[in-house]
Amino acid sequence: MAEVIIVDDEDEAGEIYAQSVASLIKAKPDAVLGLATGSSPLAAYRHLAQHIEAEGIDVSKVRGFALDEYAGLDPSHPQSYRSTITRTVVEPLGLDPQLVQVPNGNLDTIAVAGRQYDEAISAAGGVDVQILGIGSDGHIGFNEPGSSLASGTRIKTLLEQTRKDNARFFDGDINQVPTHCITQGIGTILKARHLVLLAFGANKADAVAATCEGGISSFCPASALQLHPHATIIVDHSAASRL
Ligand code: GLP
């Protein structure tokens, strides 16, 4: 059973993450951070940026690996996860962009990019702390229901529902949302030494309940956190309402 912390709001959750990661970086200046897109981690990044600034923490050696990327979308596209991670993490935290990797969604190389990405994570010594959001269907990264719990980084098809959810970032037009992605596998995610999953709002309540109290099943990919020795799930009261 993962540790579950119920908080009042995203700021309280973000501060818990930020204090833990700030201490990590002070103890290990070349810490490896697992990064996620989506709205759930934004307050956590904001609070971490405040700690870095207020405490003058040296982040010049901090390394980062993002969870996922759209397939076939140019990295310079404003909605690519490369652009999103640059905007929400690399710039506000002052990280060295050369030390932050995002899976390569180029269609010409995608067949081998997954294995190479997992090798790069291993070569960096593994992820110290992986931040995670959760989809309303229980997906983590872009591991949709049915994804193997032992999977490595690989190309995946996006579900219609996920494309609909993300159409808001593409002028509300689902046809502009890529049909495929490259995502760290659940097996990849489970190798991180500490997992921190953040979920807020009533539309995450079912997924949070299935994650924490349902059986371990590929049909709720986040339930794989039950297999991890150090997983922390931080939720607000609405997201915790079905626990
Ligand atoms: C996308 C991302 C996930 C994220 C999910 C939920 O599918 N690939 O990593 O967890 O959206 O996003 P949000 O945090 O905005 O609810």
Nearest-atom index, ligand 1, CA of 67: 9
Pocket test for ligand 1, best of 10, 35, 40, 197 (most atoms within 8 A of CB): 40
- pLDDT for residue 2 is more than 90: no
Encode pLDDT of 66-107 as tens digits: 999 999 999 999 999 999 999 999 999 999 999 999 999 999
- Beta carbon of 88 within 6 Å of any ligand 1 atom: no
159-175 pLDDT per residue, tens: 999 999 899 999 999 99
The answer to whether the CB of 42 falls within 8 A of the CB of 137 is no
**Atom 1 of ligand 1 has which residue's CA nearest to it?**
38
All domains of the chain in start order, with CATH: 3-236 (3.40.50.1360)
Give me the mean pLDDT over the 7-18 stretch.
Answer: 98
- What per-residue confidence (pLDDT) applies to 1? 65
Ligand 1 pocket check for 143: Cβ under 6 Å: no
* Average pLDDT of the chain to the nearest whole number: 97
The tens digit of pLDDT for each residue in 176-213 reads 999 999 999 999 999 999 999 999 999 999 999 999 99
Centre of ligand 1 from the C-alpha of residue 37, in Å: 6
CA–centroid distance, 141 to ligand 1, in Å, is 7
What confidence tens digit (pLDDT) does each residue in 38-74 have? 999 999 999 999 999 999 999 999 999 999 999 999 9
Torsion of the alpha carbons at 232, 115, 45 and 5, rounded to the nearest 10: -10
Q: What Å distances lie between residue 92 and 44, 114, 223, CA to CA?
A: 12, 28, 31
Q: Is 131 in the pocket of ligand 1 (CB under 6 A)?
A: no
| ipTM reported for the complex, 2 dp | 0.95
Among 163, 129, 115, residue whose Cα is nearest residue 45: 129
Indicate whether this model's pTM tops 0.95: yes
